[in-house]
Homo-oligomer: A and B are copies of this chain.
C-alpha cells in the first residue's frame, strides 16, 4: 500500500516567491502550516523571499526509503527550486562574490511549538563568506553569521550535543571560554578575530565528536539540512509531543527552503517591525519601527534606537521627547519620509494582510538594497484594552462577526481591565525585587508591616500598608483586611492568604521564595536589599512581581467596549457563571460582575472574624458535647446574620452553602499567649487546652478529620449550620425576599457519609420548619472532590440533589499532590516537562477530567436532571471552563473578579463546540 502511494507522487517540490507560487493556504496537509502560509502571502502579492517547500509526502518516502533512494528522486526539483531563488535574488548559491544564502525549516500541518528545527545561513563557507563581507561591508556580521551557521548545523544536523555526555552545550562552552580568556562579558564584545578563531574551534568540535569534517560544500550542507528536518519528525521529543497532542505520525513534516535576505547591505537597506493597528490601545492606525542598514535582530536588541515608520507616529514621538520638527526630520525621519516608495508598498501590504487574515497583524520586514521583503506576518500580541477595542472595532467594520469577535478575546487578559494597574512608565523605571505567584490580581503600594496587628494599627491611622508574612493564618484576617496587599514567602495559589485575598478582591502575591523575613529582627531581606517596617514596596498581583518603592496605580476604566463584549458573551454562553463568595460584599461585587448565583459559600471563612473566632475556638476546644453546644449556641446568631445578608444580596439566585469543611486545628490558637487567653475565657486549664490542641494535630490534615467527617462525628455542628441557613431564609421570606439556599455536604466519599448528613439536615429542617410554622425549599447536594465519590456517583446521585465538583481537592487526591507541598518538586516537574501544567491552575483533563466525566455520566444515570457545577479554583480558568462546557456541566463558580473571564470562556466554549 505504502509503496503504491510513494510511486504515485508526481510533484515533490512547490515553489513560492514573487514570480511564481505553486501552493496556497488550503494545502496545509501537503505543505505544512508554514509552507502553505508563505505561499498564501505570495499569492496575495506580498513580496516574500523566494524559496520552495518539499512536501510532507516526501517525509514518508524518506522514512521508507532512506536518503539514498530519496536524493535522486528529489534532485531535479530541488535544483530547479534553487535556480528559481537565485533568479529572484540575483545571487548564486555558494558564490564567493554574491552568495545566495538559504534557510531550511521544518513545518508540520499543525504548529508544534519548540519542535521546529531551523538552520540559517546555509551556503556559507570559507569562500562564500568573502562574498557576504563584500555585499554587507560588515566583516564582523559575516563572521558572526558563519559561526552561528556552524553552531546550528552542528546542533541540528550533526546532533553534537546528544553525542556529548556533557550537560552544557558544547558550542556554548567554546564561546564562554573565549570570553573568559579575553575578559569579555558578552557575545557583542567578540571581535572579528575572536569570531574567526571560534569558527575554527567549532569545526574542531564537530570533528572531535563526529570524526567528520564540517562540510564546506554548500550543496552537501543543504542536503544534510533537509534530511535533518525530516529526521526531526522521528525524534523521541517529537514522538512524545505527538502522543500528547494526538497527532498521527503519518502526517509527516514538510521542509521549507528559503532565501536569506539582508537589511545591512548599506543605506538603501534596513529592517523593521510593523503593526496594522496599535497593540497598546487598539487604535486603528498603522505603526511600527525600523532601522536603516540593520538586520531584524538589531531592531529588537536595543543597542540603536529604532525610528517610527509613519510620519504621524514620528511626530507624536518627537513631541513627547521635546524634539523640534527640523531636528526630527534630519535625525529621526520616518520610513514614510525616508523611503516613501518602500513605505507605500509596506502600507499596501499591511492593509492587504489585515484584510486577508481579518486580524491585527505583526509583521517583520527587511529592505535589501531598496527592495522590500516581508519575512513574516502573524497575529499581533496586544494588551487587554487593545484586544477588546480591536475586536469590537472589527465587528463594527463588518470585518468579523459576533462569534469571531468573542473568540478573539483572550479571557485571561480581561484581568488587566478589571484591576488597578501601575503606570507603565513608572514600572519601567522601577527596581523589580522578587517574583512570586500571582495569587490575587491587581496593583497595590504601601508601607511594609510584618504583623497583622501593626497592619490594623497603621491602617487605622490612615496609612497604606502591605502585609508581609512568611505565610498567613486565620489570626491574620484583620490584618489582611486592613492592608492594601499581601505578600507571603510561602504558600501556593490556594494558600490561606491567596484564597482570602481573592475572596476580598485584594492584591496578593504568595510563595515569593526570595524573601527572608525575620519577625524577631523586624527585617525583610530580598537579595541584597534590606527593608524594615515603614519602607515602601509595591505589588503587581496580576504578574506576581514585587517592586521597590512607591508606585502610582491607575484604576481601570470599564469601557463601553468591555460592556459590549460581556453582553455578547451573555447571549452566547450556555454555562451559568456563579461566584465563590463568603461575604455580603463579595456577593454584591460578584453580582456587579455578572454572576448569577453563589456556587460556593464557605461557611468557615465566616468564623475567622474577630468577634466569632473565640466562640469557634471554644466550640473546638470544648471537652464534651455540652461545652460544644454552648459555643455553637453563641455562633448560631452570627451565622444566621451572615446568611441573611448573603441571601439578601443574592436574592432571586441560588446560594450554595457548604457545611463546615476544614480541619478544626486551622482555627485553634497556636501561641501560648492565645491558648492562655482561651483557657481563661473557657474556665479550663491551659493544660486541657494544650492537650486538646495536641489531640487535634494530624499527620495529613488534608486527608483527615474534616468535611462531612466533622458533621458526622459532631452532628451538632451540622445542626447549628442548617438551623442558621433556614432561619435566615425564613426570615427573608417573611419580608417578601426571594431566596434560594442550597446546602452542600463537603468531602463525601461514600454514600453512607452523605446519607448520614442528609438525615441530620432533614431532621433539623423539620424542627426549624415546625418552630416557625413555615418552610422553604432547600435542595441538599454534595461536593464531588474525593475520587471515590466520582467512582460511586451513581449511588450518590440517588440521594443528592446536586453535585459540585471541588476540583482543588479532586486534583490533590487524584494526583496525590498536596498543594501546600508541591513547591519542592512541581517547579522541577514543569521545567523538565514531566508534566505540562500546574494541575491546580489548569484542570488536568486526562486524569481529573476523566474523573469528572465519569461522575457526570454516572450521576445522570440515576438522576437525569441533577444540577452539576464546578467550584474549585478552575472555575475561572478558560480551558477548564471549556472542558466543563464540553462534559455538560451546568455552571462554574469562581471568585468575583473572574466572573467576566469565566463568562467569556463559556461563550467561547459554546461557539467552538458548535463549530
Contact = CB atoms under 8 A, between A and B. Distances in A.
Nearest to A827: B713
A293 to B, nearest CB: 48
A701 B786 contact: no
Given A747-B816, A832-B756, A703 B821 contact: yes
A846 B793 CA distance: 11
Nearest to A812: B703
Nearest to A705: B824
A122 to B, nearest CB: 33
A820 B702 CA distance: 12
A307 to B, nearest CB: 47
B699 A821 contact: yes
A490 to B, nearest CB: 10
A825 B713 contact: yes
A698 interface: yes
A851 interface: yes
Nearest to A844: B788
A248 interface: no
Contacts of A788: 814-816, 844, 847-848
A323 B834 CA distance: 81
A168 B367 CA distance: 95
A558 interface: no
A709 interface: yes
Interface string A49-71: 00000000000000000000000
Q: Which of A703, A836, A844, A850 has the most CB of B within 10 A?
A: A703
Given A752-B833, A847-B788, A703 B700 contact: yes
A847 B704 contact: no
B850 A791 contact: yes
A149 to B, nearest CB: 32
Contacts of A846: 791-792
A756 B703 CA distance: 28
Interface string A675-704: 000000000000000000000001111111
Contacts of A832: 712, 756
A748 to B, nearest CB: 10
A822 B702 CA distance: 12
A204 interface: no
Interface string A221-249: 00000000000000000001000000000
A514 to B, nearest CB: 14
A454 to B, nearest CB: 24
Contacts of A576: none
A357 interface: no
Given A752-B835, A835-B752, A703 B701 contact: no
Contacts of A821: 698-701, 703-705
B699 A828 contact: no
Contacts of A755: 240, 834
A713 B824 contact: yes
Interface in A831-857: 832-836, 844, 846-848, 850-851
Nearest to A809: B816
A753 interface: yes
Contact of A847 (B240, B713, B749): B749
Given A750-B834, A786-B816, A825 B709 contact: yes
A379 B59 CA distance: 75
A607 B144 CA distance: 55
Given A713-B825, A834-B752, A835-B752, A700 B786 contact: no
A219 interface: no
Contacts of A753: 829, 834-835
A817 interface: yes
Interface in A767-817: 785-788, 791-792, 809, 812-817
A786 B847 CA distance: 11
Given A703-B700, A820-B699, A787 B809 contact: no
B835 A750 contact: yes
A670 to B, nearest CB: 14
A523 interface: no
Nearest to A697: B821
A181 B752 CA distance: 41
Contacts of A820: 698-700
A699 B699 contact: no
A813 B834 contact: no
A818 interface: yes
A34 to B, nearest CB: 28
A822 B832 CA distance: 36
A664 to B, nearest CB: 9
Contacts of A699: 701-702, 818, 820-821
B818 A698 contact: yes
- Give the top 4 A-B pairs by smallest Cβ distance, nearest first: A703-B818, A700-B818, A704-B821, A699-B820
5 contacts: A704-B818, A704-B821, A713-B828, A787-B851, A788-B844
Given A700-B821, A753-B829, A787-B816, 17 more contacts: A698-B820, A698-B821, A700-B703, A701-B821, A704-B824, A705-B824, A712-B834, A749-B815, A750-B815, A756-B832, A787-B814, A788-B815, A791-B814, A791-B847, A791-B850, A809-B816, A813-B816
